């Protein structure tokens, strides 16, 4: 086993440790929020990197973008769910005293030059409190975990000797933990772990992720037989993916809560920018070093270095300020009244009188006082949320666009087969692939800027239609590389790969960002957060379907690590299949129709109620 000199290895470890705490965080998301691209994986907030290889089709979901976008929508939904009636606000969200509000807000700190420098440079105007440092670090780590992306691919390919079809199939499985993100949210919100809703889950997820990468880095201590290595490796990679997804959800919840509780409106935008920047910075670093490190060491060594990152999350999470959830005793009931009175019973049956109504509500009264409180059980709230979600999904204006998004994302890919072609046929090494990931990550950022600058006002339907039309011939251009026709044209293989992937990365952002906007528009009031998370889970699940279908096609066409005769046919099928969802693009008209109907209802609601009889006649 070829090892780095200890001095170089120590320098690499020191570099990662110095970078992580300084800038902070982030998958899906996308990568990561993990994505099916290799440009950059951050999951974020909403999508994982389903494929750690060079994609040859439109790149639709970089996780770091998903993270930032989903957070914004979740913040909006959370704020909209707060009570607006001042008389009932205390029942749901008791107001804190001004002195109790944590000062995480955007504020200047002129007394400490170092804090002032950090606040206005690294932390984008937000005071670097321990909470903020922890949040930024968590998001940075989520982006930097792409460091093991190529190591994962080469471990399965070279160490475990899997073929293109098997690699593609397993790559799709690694995205499955990102398809159940709403479940993580329910667990974190409803079931405190060791008395904490956020901190404990982050610590456990960080330790599990560290353990899984450590096991991979040491070949499971040599305790497994050769035929047990593949199942154990797959299980470890699934656990690490799930830990990243869970940490992503919990971190998002912290950001939403801090934005909601703050009185400073500038905190929301500043905190979102900080999270996105941290994720992007971590993803950009990992994009290059994932290949350069693999060039001089084995995948196991890269996993050992990567294990430091989730362990850092477990440690830094202890800085998060969170009140311990107190479980009331059987003989103790604490109730906050509308008039800010707090009534408490300490075993005394004379203080409070309770009764249960026929619909399951609990009524609590104080002796002869007319003041009473009716509290609905949590089960009723969960049932109501599920019922509202079901009612929303049943509407044609929601399920038709959702089905279109599923079809749009579930088209097959040839990523696994093309990776083998680039490494075994063209002779590209890990360092080159890392450079391609870095360049395409930068191209994705350019695509985001171009979209926000020129295309954000263009109808979503038009963007998706024309991006598919343009992406198909661009994707088919890889046939020139497969047949080596590019060499006859005087274009080197490396230059062709760089140019092709940059174009696809930019175009991929044009196609991906409108899908986020579309998903946000589909969410009706009252179920915004849970429906958006559900839509993103469906979107990630569709990506898994596309990867698995691509694996089946690779197997059926006989494309292996040594036989690329049908790789061109596989490429043609995968690229042309991306056009068939356009036959259903008319379903997106339901979104516009629903919006117009809502506007008409709002206008009708503004009409004065007391009108002459003749005024209502046409």
Confidence class for position 232, pLDDT limits 50, 70, 90: very high
DSSP percent split of the chain into helix, strand, coil, nearest 5: 65, 5, 30
**Tokens encoding 248:** 């992503």
Confidence class for position 236, pLDDT limits 50, 70, 90: very high
Q: Any idea what the Cα angle at residue 540 is, between residues 272 and 205, rounded to 5°?
A: 65
For residue 609, the tally of other CB atoms under 10 A from its CB is 5
Q: What is the pLDDT of residue 118?
A: 60
Q: What is the pLDDT of residue 127?
A: 66
For residues 483-509, average pLDDT: 89
Strand partners, 501: none
**Tokens encoding 4:** 């780095």
Confidence class for position 375, pLDDT limits 50, 70, 90: very low
Among 33-37, 149-153, 382-386, 603-607, the range with the most confident prediction by mean pLDDT is: 149-153
For 160-164, 197-201, 548-552, 580-584, which range has the lowest pLDDT when averaged over its residues?
197-201
Please state, in angstroms and rounded to a whole number, the distance separating the CA atoms of residues 18 and 239.
26
Residue 156 has pLDDT above 70, yes or no: yes
The DSSP bridge pattern shows strands 342-346 and 353-356 to be: unpaired
For 66-70, 353-357, 594-598, which range has the lowest pLDDT when averaged over its residues?
66-70
Q: What is the pLDDT of residue 298?
A: 92
Q: What is the pLDDT of residues 295-312, one digit of tens each?
A: 899 999 999 999 999 999
Q: What is the pLDDT of residues 5-39, one digit of tens each?
A: 444 444 444 444 444 333 333 333 333 333 333 33
Residue in the block written with tokens 């330790």? 207
For 69-73, 220-224, 451-455, 474-478, which range has the lowest pLDDT when averaged over its residues?
69-73
Radius of gyration of the chain (CA): 26
Confidence class for position 360, pLDDT limits 50, 70, 90: very low
**H or E stretch including 333?**
strand 332-336
Contact 360/380 with Cβ under 8 angstroms?
yes
In this prediction, what percent of the chain has a pLDDT beyond 70? 62
Please state, in angstroms and rounded to a whole number, the distance separating the CA atoms of residues 312 and 134.
10
Q: What is the pLDDT of residue 252?
A: 80
* More confident call, 572 vs 277: 572
For residues 524-539, average pLDDT: 76
| Residues 6 or more apart in contact with residue 555 via CB below 8 angstroms | 165
For residues 117-134, average pLDDT: 66
Q: What is the pLDDT of residue 481?
A: 94
For 208-217, 265-274, 359-368, which range has the lowest pLDDT when averaged over its residues?
359-368
Contact 302/213 with Cβ under 8 angstroms?
no
**Tokens encoding 19:** 């970078």
For 68-72, 246-250, 469-473, 475-479, which range has the lowest pLDDT when averaged over its residues?
68-72
In this prediction, what percent of the chain has a pLDDT beyond 90? 25
Residue 478 has pLDDT above 80, yes or no: yes
Residue 323 has pLDDT above 80, yes or no: no
Cβ-in-10-Å burial (0-12, 13-18, 19+) of 505 comes to: buried
Q: What is the pLDDT of residue 572?
A: 96
Which domains does the chain possess? 23-82+108-319 (1.20.1250), 332-376 (no CATH), 390-602 (1.20.1250.20)
Q: What is the mean pLDDT of the chain?
A: 71
Q: What is the pLDDT of residue 308?
A: 94
Residue in the block written with tokens 């914004």? 72
* More confident call, 600 vs 430: 430
Confidence class for position 390, pLDDT limits 50, 70, 90: confident
Q: What is the pLDDT of residues 498-518, one digit of tens each?
A: 888 888 888 888 888 788 778
For 14-18, 180-184, 326-330, 449-453, which range has the lowest pLDDT when averaged over its residues?
14-18
Q: What is the pLDDT of residue 61?
A: 38
Report helix angle 266-296 to 6-23, nearest 10.
Answer: 170
Q: What is the pLDDT of residue 195?
A: 81
For residues 138-159, average pLDDT: 90
For residues 475-482, average pLDDT: 93
Alpha-carbon separation of residue 502 from 44, 67, 438, 445 (angstroms):
21, 22, 10, 11
For residues 110-131, average pLDDT: 62
Q: What is the pLDDT of residues 238-289, one digit of tens each?
A: 999 999 889 888 888 777 777 766 666 556 556 666 777 788 788 888 888 8
Contact 345/333 with Cβ under 8 angstroms?
yes
């Amino acid at each position: 086993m070829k090892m780095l000199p200890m001095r170089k290895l120590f320098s690499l470890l020191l570099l990662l440790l110095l970078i992580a705490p300084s800038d902070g965080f982030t998958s899906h998301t996308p990568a990561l929020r993990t994505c099916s691209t290799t440009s950059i994986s951050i999951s974020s907030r909403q999508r994982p990197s389903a494929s750690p290889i060079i994609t040859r089709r439109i790149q639709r979901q970089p996780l770091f973008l998903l993270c930032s976008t989903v957070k914004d929508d979740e913040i909006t939904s959370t704020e909209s769910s707060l009570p607006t009636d001042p008389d009932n606000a205390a029942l749901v969200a008791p107001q804190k005293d001004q002195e109790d509000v944590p000062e995480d807000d955007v504020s200047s700190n002129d007394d400490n030059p170092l804090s002032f420098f950090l606040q206005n440079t690294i932390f984008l105007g937000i005071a670097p409190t321990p909470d903020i440092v922890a949040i930024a670090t968590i998001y940075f780590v989520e982006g930097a975990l792409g460091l093991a992306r190529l190591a994962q691919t080469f471990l399965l390919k070279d160490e475990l000797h899997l073929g293109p079809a098997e690699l593609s199939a397993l790559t799709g499985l690694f995205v499955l933990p990102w398809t159940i993100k709403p479940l993580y949210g329910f667990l974190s919100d409803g079931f405190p772990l060791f008395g904490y809703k956020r901190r404990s889950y982050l610590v456990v997820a960080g330790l599990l992720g560290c353990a899984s990468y450590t096991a991979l880095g040491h070949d499971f201590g040599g305790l497994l037989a050769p035929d047990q290595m593949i199942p154990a490796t797959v299980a470890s990679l699934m656990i690490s993916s799930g830990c990243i997804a869970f940490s992503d959800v919990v971190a998002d919840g912290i950001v939403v809560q801090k934005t909601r509780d703050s009185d400073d409106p500038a905190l929301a935008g500043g905190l979102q920018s900080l999270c996105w920047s941290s994720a992007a910075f971590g993803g950009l670093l990992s994009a290059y070093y994932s290949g350069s490190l693999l060039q001089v060491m084995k995948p196991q060594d890269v996993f050992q270095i990567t294990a430091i990152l989730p362990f850092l999350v477990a440690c830094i999470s202890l800085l998060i300020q969170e009140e311990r959830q107190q479980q009331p005793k059987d003989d103790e009931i604490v109730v906050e009244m509308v008039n800010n009175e707090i009534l408490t019973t300490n075993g005394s049956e004379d203080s409070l009188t309770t009764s249960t109504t026929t619909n399951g509500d609990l009524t609590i009264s104080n002796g002869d006082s007319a003041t009473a409180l009716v509290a609905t059980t949590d089960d009723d709230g969960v049932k109501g949320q599920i019922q509202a979600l079901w009612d929303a999904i049943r509407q044609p204006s929601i399920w038709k666009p959702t089905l279109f998004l599923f079809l749009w994302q579930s088209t097959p890919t040839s990523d696994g087969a093309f990776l083998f072609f680039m490494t075994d046929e063209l002779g590209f090494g890990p360092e080159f692939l890392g450079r391609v990931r870095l360049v395409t990550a930068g191209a994705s950022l350019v695509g985001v800027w171009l979209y926000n600058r020129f295309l954000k006002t263009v109808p979503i339907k038009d963007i998706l239609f024309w991006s598919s039309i343009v992406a198909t011939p661009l994707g088919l251009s890889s046939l020139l590389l497969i047949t080596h026709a590019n060499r006859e044209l005087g274009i080197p293989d490396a230059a062709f790969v760089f140019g092709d992937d940059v174009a696809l990365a930019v175009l991929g952002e044009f196609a991906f960002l409108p899908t986020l906007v579309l998903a946000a528009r589909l969410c009706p009031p009252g179920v915004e957060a849970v429906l958006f998370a559900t839509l993103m889970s469906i979107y990630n699940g569709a990506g898994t379907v596309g990867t698995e279908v691509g694996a089946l096609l690779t197997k059926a066409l006989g494309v292996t690590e040594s036989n690329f005769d049908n790789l061109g046919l596989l490429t043609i099928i995968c690229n042309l299949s991306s056009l068939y969802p356009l036959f259903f693009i008319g379903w997106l008209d339901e979104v516009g129709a629903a919006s117009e109907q809502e506007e008409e209802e709002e206008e009708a609601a503004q009409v004065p109620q007391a009108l002459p009889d003749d005024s209502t006649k046409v």
